[in-house]
């Protein structure tokens, strides 16, 4: 990875820079990009490392001479079967956003992402949430301009001439983001003291997010312009809120329907009656018909997912499951089951399906 870095560009100095100029540039950059000054910013740490790496080579006469030579050789080798685009992509990948070269000086702020976890009912019925997090926001001291109040406005970078990138030597000219202006082509002659000319500072940012009824897991709400502020008049990024829905203990969503299973005892199923069923609106007493079977589906109209535009609502489907009693640990239940079985044997028509099958099997024997 180090070999694809243009050390001169990293330090923002000319190829013919004197050792003194290199040292000065290094000192200035390490002051500006010291990780202690920008805690929690991994890009800064990466950049700081590259600055040191570059100086380690260019700050030493012998290593610098070797580096200059290797760059020239590399340029020649790359020329064989040269494909401009892949070489460019390679650099682009290496530099990524930190050192990415751009023609436009205005820099759009990065998008911020936030995952909002909500309950099943909050997603289905719609809800409002106040979220708060630490993120870069406009610096209050300079109103996001990066310029000290009363200071001179940003000026064209003298190292790259405002291009934001520096061209290397040779026929194959590699380009690298200018280290003096971070590839923006502009420098702050009078940087704001609070944000060191970046125009942004980490701060607590809070928003209210509205989820409409019928919100599904994975849905994204975009709060335009609420991401990281732009630089040099660039647009602010967006705040993208992704909705994470916690699974419900009993309820499952299928399109605009909500499904659930309701276990019934043998006697509840045999006698029927009102059974409490969970819904997103709370418990609802549902009429279960006498003699209901396992697998029977009951429809609760209007207890499903509301349509996005507020027109109507889906249903909830309740699947009945007869729960077999567990006998271990309860002699009373075991006795009652014995008694139930004895009574059913005496009155075979009380279990008509079993009776039918037994008869059919008996006839075949």
In the list 47, 50, 175, 180, the residue contacting Zn ion (rule: CB under 5 A) is 180
Q: What is the per-residue DSSP string for 248-266?
A: PSS-EEETTEEEEEEEE-H
CB of 218 to Zn ion, least distance (A): 37
| Residue 147 structure tokens | 């310029």
CB of 236 to Zn ion, least distance (A): 15
Q: How far apart are CA 142 and CA 264, in angstroms?
A: 67
Q: Per-residue contact track with Zn ion, 11 to 40, x per CB under 5 A?
A: ------------------------------
Give the residue with the Cβ less far from Zn ion, 29 or 195.
Answer: 195
Give the residue with the Cβ less far from Zn ion, 112 or 177.
Answer: 177
CB of 81 to Zn ion, least distance (A): 32
Nearest to 53 by CA among 16, 9, 89: 9
# residues near Zn ion by CB under 5 A: 12
Considering only residues 83 through 142, tell me which ones interact with Zn ion, judged by CB under 5 A. 139, 141-142
Q: How far apart are CA 348 and CA 131, in angstroms?
A: 63
CB of 180 to Zn ion, least distance (A): 4
From 92-100, 105-113, 159-167, 297-305, span contacting Zn ion (CB under 5 A): 159-167
User: Is 178 among the residues that bind Zn ion (CB under 5 A)?
Assistant: yes
Contacts of 80 (CB under 8 A, 6+ apart): none
Q: Per-residue contact track with Zn ion, 241 to 270, x per CB under 5 A?
A: ------------------------------
Contacts of 256 (CB under 8 A, 6+ apart): 214, 304, 305, 307, 313, 314
User: Is 236 among the residues that bind Zn ion (CB under 5 A)?
Assistant: no
Q: How far apart are CA 7 and CA 56, in angstroms?
A: 10
From 85-93, 176-184, 228-236, 248-256, span contacting Zn ion (CB under 5 A): 176-184
Q: How far apart are CA 361 and CA 363, in angstroms?
A: 5
Ramachandran assignment for 272, one of left (phi > 0), alpha (psi -120 to 50 degrees), beta (any other): left
Cross-strand bridge partners of residue 114: 241
CB of 198 to Zn ion, least distance (A): 7
From 88-96, 128-136, 174-182, 351-359, span contacting Zn ion (CB under 5 A): 174-182
User: Is 177 among the residues that bind Zn ion (CB under 5 A)?
Assistant: no
Residue 200: enclosing H or E segment and its boundaries? strand 200-211
Give the residue with the Cβ less far from Zn ion, 105 or 221.
Answer: 105
In the list 159, 236, 239, 258, the residue contacting Zn ion (rule: CB under 5 A) is 159
Q: Give the distance, in angstroms, between the CA of residue 31 and the centroid of all CA atoms in the same chain.
A: 33
Give the residue with the Cβ less far from Zn ion, 184 or 279.
Answer: 184
Q: Per-residue contact track with Zn ion, 193 to 222, x per CB under 5 A?
A: -xx---------------------------
CB of 50 to Zn ion, least distance (A): 16
User: Is 192 among the residues that bind Zn ion (CB under 5 A)?
Assistant: yes
Cross-strand bridge partners of residue 132: 206
| Residue 31 structure tokens | 């002051």
From 102-110, 125-133, 156-164, 251-259, span contacting Zn ion (CB under 5 A): 156-164
From 24-32, 191-199, 214-222, 252-260, span contacting Zn ion (CB under 5 A): 191-199
| Residue 191 structure tokens | 């940087």
For CA atoms 359, 361, 363, 365, give the dihedral sign: negative
User: Is 157 among the residues that bind Zn ion (CB under 5 A)?
Assistant: yes
Q: How far apart are CA 102 and CA 100, in angstroms?
A: 6
Exposed, middle or buried by CB within 10 Å (0-12, 13-18, 19+), for 297? exposed
Give the residue with the Cβ less far from Zn ion, 192 or 260.
Answer: 192
Q: How far apart are CA 273 and CA 289, in angstroms?
A: 7
Chain contacts with Zn ion (rule: CB under 5 A):
139, 141-142, 157, 159-160, 178, 180-181, 192, 194-195
């Amino acid at each position: 990875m180090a070999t694809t870095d243009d050390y001169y560009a990293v330090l923002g100095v000319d190829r013919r820079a004197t050792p003194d100029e290199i040292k000065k540039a290094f000192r200035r950059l390490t002051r500006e990009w010291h990780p202690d000054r920008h805690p929690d910013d991994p890009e800064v740490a990466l950049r700081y490392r590259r600055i040191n790496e570059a100086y380690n080579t260019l700050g030493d006469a012998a290593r610098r001479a070797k580096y200059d030579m290797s760059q020239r050789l590399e340029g020649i080798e790359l020329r064989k079967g040269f494909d401009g685009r892949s070489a460019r992509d390679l650099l682009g990948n290496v530099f990524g956003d930190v050192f990415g070269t751009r023609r436009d000086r205005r820099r759009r702020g990065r998008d911020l992402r936030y995952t909002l976890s909500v309950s099943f009912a909050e997603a289905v019925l719609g809800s409002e949430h106040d979220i708060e997090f630490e993120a870069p926001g406009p610096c209050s001291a300079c109103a996001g301009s990066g310029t000290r109040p009363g200071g001179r406005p940003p000026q064209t970078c003298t190292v790259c001439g405002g291009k934001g990138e520096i061209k290397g030597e040779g026929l194959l000219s590699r380009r690298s983001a200018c280290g003096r202006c971070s590839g923006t082509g502009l420098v702050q002659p009078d940087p704001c003291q609070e944000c060191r000319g970046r125009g942004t500072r980490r701060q607590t940012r809070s928003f209210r997010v509205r989820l409409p009824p019928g919100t599904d897991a994975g849905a994204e709400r975009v709060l335009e312009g609420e991401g990281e502020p732009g630089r040099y008049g660039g647009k602010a990024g967006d705040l993208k809120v992704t909705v994470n829905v916690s699974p419900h203990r009993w309820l499952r969503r299928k399109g605009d329907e909500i499904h659930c299973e309701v276990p019934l005892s043998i006697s509840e199923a045999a006698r029927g009656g009102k059974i409490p069923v969970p819904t997103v609106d709370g418990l609802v007493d549902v009429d279960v018909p006498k003699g209901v079977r396992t697998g029977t589906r009951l429809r609760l109209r209007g207890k499903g997912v509301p349509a996005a535009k507020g027109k109507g609502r889906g249903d909830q489907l309740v699947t009945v499951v007869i729960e077999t009693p567990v006998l271990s640990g309860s002699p009373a239940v075991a006795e009652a089951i014995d008694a139930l079985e004895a009574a059913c044997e005496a009155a075979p028509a009380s279990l008509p399906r079993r009776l039918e099958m037994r008869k059919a099997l008996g006839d075949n024997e």
